[in-house]
Amino acid sequence: MLTKEASHNPKFSTMIKININELSNFDSTALYEFLFLKRESVFEITIPRETIKSDNYDVFNEFLSAAYAGQRLSEIADSFAYYVPYVNSKQPFLFEVTITEMGKMAEILFLIIKTINGTTGSESFLSFHSLAADFLTNAIHDKIECYTWGLLYIANRYLQMS
């Protein structure tokens, strides 16, 4: 597990586990209400894996999407940690975040949910992947501070093999 900052103590806080596939029918308002009603600030967000090393480009795309999703979460988090699954495993991408601004959390989760569970050619899907590609380029050229290097490194390796 890699961390941005580990400033919270899990013994004193309840962690809310969120699998983004289980929230695929939520709109942004319902998602905000869901988060607000939980009244917690520590979340474990799970993005299930789709690809088990079937194609180099698919692995690249999946790890880049997870890296960018994690980066977006890290930008609003008071603390952030993530798990890098083995490429050949079915283990999901896991992100642990401490969030105080539920509105921003709802926006980013909604974007991730719409992209991961949405239609491949949709505007939100294309926009997310365009921003993810920009993220990869900017991180490699040290134009941004990247908090998901473990995922981005694997994505870039599989891009080079495509």
Instruction: Return mean pLDDT, the chain.
Output: 88
How many domains does one find in the chain?
1
Within its chain, how far is the Cα of 121 from the centroid? 20
Q: What is the mean pLDDT of residues 63-68?
A: 96
pTM for this predicted structure: 0.88
- Structural domain boundaries, residue 121: 2-161
The pLDDT-based confidence of 2 (bands split at 50, 70, 90) is low
SS (H, E, C) the chain: CEEEECCCCHHHCCEEEEEHHHHCCCCHHHHHHHHHHHCCCEEEEEECCCCCCCCHHHHHHHHHHHHHHHHHHHHHCCEEEEECCCCCCCCCEEEEEECCCHHHHHHHHHHHHHHHHCCCCCHHHHHHHHHHHHHHHHHHCCCCCCCCHHHHHHHHHHHHHC
Query: For residue 69, what pLDDT is reported?
Result: 97
**Burial of 121 (C-beta count, 10 Å sphere; 0-12/13-18/19+):** exposed
pLDDT tens figures, 32-65: 999 989 888 999 999 999 767 678 999 999 999 9
Residue 104 has pLDDT above 50, yes or no: yes
Contact status, residue 37 vs residue 139, Cβ threshold 8 Å: no
User: What would the two tokens of residue 17 be?
Assistant: 């586990």
Residue 133 has pLDDT above 80, yes or no: yes
CA-CA distances (angstroms) from residue 148 to 35, 55, 60? 24, 22, 14
Above pLDDT 90, what percent of the chain?
69
pLDDT tens figures, 19-33: 999 998 998 899 999
Residue 139 has pLDDT above 60, yes or no: yes
Query: For residue 10, what pLDDT is reported?
Result: 45
> What is the distance between the alpha carbons of residues 38 and 134, in angstroms, rounded to a whole number?
34
Query: For residue 7, what pLDDT is reported?
Result: 41
